[in-house]
Structure 1
């Protein structure tokens, strides 16, 4: 039996190593997503890298006032219950808006933000965006909408060193997320895009106006059943 030339063996090795890395990543990511379907993510990369420490308190979705999830939908993702992880229209509009200059607008859905917050790091780049898309597809398929919203409301940064709406409610209003008023839920949702620069207590300027707009939209979300997948 003739042995393969050295060049062929080397070429095979260089092909097999990347394939093994990719396969290992796929298996590990699937296992992690499946695990977090039932177990709260203990910590995220954003939390680990936060120099302000970590304050969080995992809370089940049914123990959080429904207006908080409605506020998140109103502020971040009006099509949350109907899309499969990606809102193509919102992404296209954000791209057009950003190309024209001015305040940068994101087109990410709650599902995409959850995937990024739990499994990845903050910031942009094609690699992170590609990984975000992969994890978004996985959580949509394995978790379902209720679990995605539950995890989102528990890992989203709601203030300096503060993660999740329970810790945010305690920080700003001195009571748990289960007792949030509509206005309080709207204020927390208004803080989410820039939690280190905005505060839900006595907001002013843009944050105040945005919070009032979200509070008004909460009623629309409830009336039109835009939160139907969470009931």
Structure 2
């Protein structure tokens, strides 16, 4: 029994230490997501070409921030303002899901699994707080834009998404194309930015209309000159 307990403690220590160490390491290397790893293991295709954030269209950077996490530059990994607003209108798992930030999505994509569960949310939030401490906002967004699932056939990251949808690089996207890609993120298996239906076109149009009102604070923490 003592040996089993000792091994259990060692296993628990490894589980806790692994994301803490990787969070630091990912400042230096190009990470992959747990979903990408799962697809490789199961023999499914993965298409991803890493792009530094400076080589991604500013229109896409702004569109993703406005669509996914408008307070990205000012929150601590968890958007307490959004969380409180959602809690006022909902409760439980739906509330935490509705208040998800890019940093929380990054923590999920790097270390956890898809699907809705209280266990995952309980792990996701402290991991997001940790990533926000050890990783700059610019690096967080750069990684997110390169590992987010963006299509039904294993397209991950902005470059693969732009090529699949529009046949051009992520650095050459128009404002309309960027908006279509941004509103595809919540449901990449069913939304087609290259051939948008009326619903997706409306979402993209609404996002484009909002962007001028969001202001420079959207990207203030990124150090982008463009």
Fold in common (TM above 0.5): yes
Give the TM-score normalised by the residue count of structure 1. 0.84
Query: Structure 1 residue 70 and structure 2 residue 59: aligned?
Result: no
Matches of 1:135 and 1:178 in 2, distance apart?
30
Deviations 1:192-215 (A, max 9, x none): 000001011231232111111112
Matches of 1:215 and 1:144 in 2, distance apart?
27
Whose radius of gyration is greater, 1 or 2?
Answer: 1
Compute the displacement of 1:179 (Å).
0.8
Give the TM-score normalised by the residue count of structure 2. 0.86
In the alignment, which residue of structure 2 is the partner of 1:4? Answer: none
Query: For structure 1, which runs of at least 5 residues remain unmatched after alignment?
Result: 1-9
Deviations 1:6-61 (A, max 9, x none): xxxx5x767655543333233222211111111011x3221233475211111000
In the alignment, which residue of structure 2 is the partner of 1:155? Answer: 147
In the alignment, which residue of structure 1 is the partner of 2:210? Answer: 217
2:217 counterpart SS class: coil
Equivalent pairs, count: 216
Query: Structure 1 residue 191 and structure 2 residue 207: aligned?
Result: no
Q: 1:65-214, aligned counterparts within 5 Å?
A: 65-98=57-90, 106-160=98-152, 161-214=154-207
2:98 counterpart SS class: coil
Q: Is the 8 A contact 1:98 1:105 kept in 2?
A: no
Query: Structure 1 residue 24 and structure 2 residue 24: aligned?
Result: no
Matches of 1:136 and 1:34 in 2, distance apart?
13
Across the aligned residues of Structure 1 and Structure 2, the Cα RMSD in angstroms comes to: 2.3
Compute the displacement of 1:89 (Å).
2.8
Deviations 1:158-211 (A, max 9, x none): 111211011000011111011111111110001000000101123123211111
Q: Is the 8 A contact 1:159 1:168 kept in 2?
A: yes
Matches of 1:84 and 1:13 in 2, distance apart?
40
Matches of 1:225 and 1:137 in 2, distance apart?
21
